[in-house]
Amino acid sequence: MKFLEAEKPIRVLQIGMTRNIGGLETYLMSQFNHLDRSQVTYDFVNITAEYDIVFKEQILKAGSQIYGVKSRHSNPVQHYWQWIKLLHHIAPQYKGIVLNSNSLTYVFPIFLAKFFGIPLRIMHSHNTGYEQKIGFGKKLLIQFNKYLLKWGATNYFACSKLAGQWMFGNGAKFKVIPNAIDCAQFQYNPIRRGKVRKKLQLGDNFVVGHVGRFTYQKNHERVIQIFYEIYKQNKTARLMLIGDVVGDQSYLEKAKYLVHKLGMDQAVLFLGMRKDVPQLMQAMDCFLLPSRFEGLPVVGIEAQAAGLPCFFSGTITKEVGITNLAYFTSLQVPSKKWAEIILKESTKNRVDTEEAIIEAGYEIGEASKRIKKWYLEH
């Protein structure tokens, strides 16, 4: 049966929001804000209910629901029992449930949603690697969960081809959903740039920007080493690190120690988790993301929308390179060579990339229309 029109909006339950402002959270909120909510709307499940999810006030103000279940890490029995009670009460209200995930170590909501009769059960891959080494026990769990997904999921989504192949397998059928953004928020504006730089006391400094949580994946040690090679050539250079820790404090501590060891305390700005990333990108001169792995980094699309030369590691899918501002370099290449490439390619004037982003399918207005159409037709 095709849902071409709906008197009441189709409701979809989204899982994956956390207390941190990351790419996944930004993607979900951007889509939520641009959906025609008279036809399709989202509610959210916070699976670590000990903490509020980001954008909580915005979501509630829009009239959507946020349900909470206790973290499975703090109390697994309560976590699964609360899920069962929750879906027992609310499942009939929902046409779809989406588990936005970076791994296959957890698929329980999809399995449970089938049991309670939610018609569309979607697993959405947002990554291409694991934060920690996977032991034998976790490998068994992942294989078991793959079988559960084959039985329970109706559709597979992925933020990129690489993310889909990594999670679901090379022969699997999945739909790529672009991590679309609001281009207008990031469009370069020299007046805004001047205001932000003045506030941060940057003057005419050459500013390298990075946005990412302090985790193994984001490779902050390499960010700092590459910047150090730039700093040796230009003592007025500054590194802007935007992001916070997620659980393990050691990654932030190691980054701060390395900065101090290299004598760059005055040159590196640790700005923490921020809600003004579009404004901060105005102040940057280039964007650096030498991650060990990524699904498709939303922040890479955002940086290109801001007209910044973007320097990505070769491990990141080339699908992120939607403009001529994207440069890919192997992590095997010495940091000194990275610095040379950055300094050479960061001399160009900022350009308007909106047309290229729209053409590539990463403009949120059009992307939201496509996802709305998909839900109405399935």
pLDDT tens-digit series, residues 182-227? 999 999 999 999 999 999 999 999 999 999 999 999 999 999 999 9
Amino acid letter for position 140? L
What's the average model confidence in pLDDT over 296-305? 95
Q: Which fold has domain 183-359?
A: Rossmann fold (3.40.50)
Stated pTM of the model? 0.88
Assess whether the region 10-180+363-377 and the region 183-359 belong to the same CATH fold.
Answer: yes
CA distances (Å), 29 to each of 34, 51, 221, 252, in order? 9, 18, 30, 26
Q: What is the DSSP string of 139-173?
A: HHHHHHHHHHHHHH-SEEEESSHHHHHHHH-TT--
Question: What superfamily would CATH give domain 10-180+363-377?
Answer: Glycogen Phosphorylase B; (3.40.50.2000)
Report the percentage of the chain scoring pLDDT > 70.
Answer: 98
Percent of the chain with pLDDT over 90: 83
Query: Each residue of 281-291: pLDDT tens digit?
Result: 999 999 999 99
Q: Per-domain residue ranges for the chain?
A: 10-180+363-377, 183-359
**Residue 218: which of 184, 247, 243 has the closest Cα?**
243
**Any idea which residue has 């995930």 for tokens?**
101
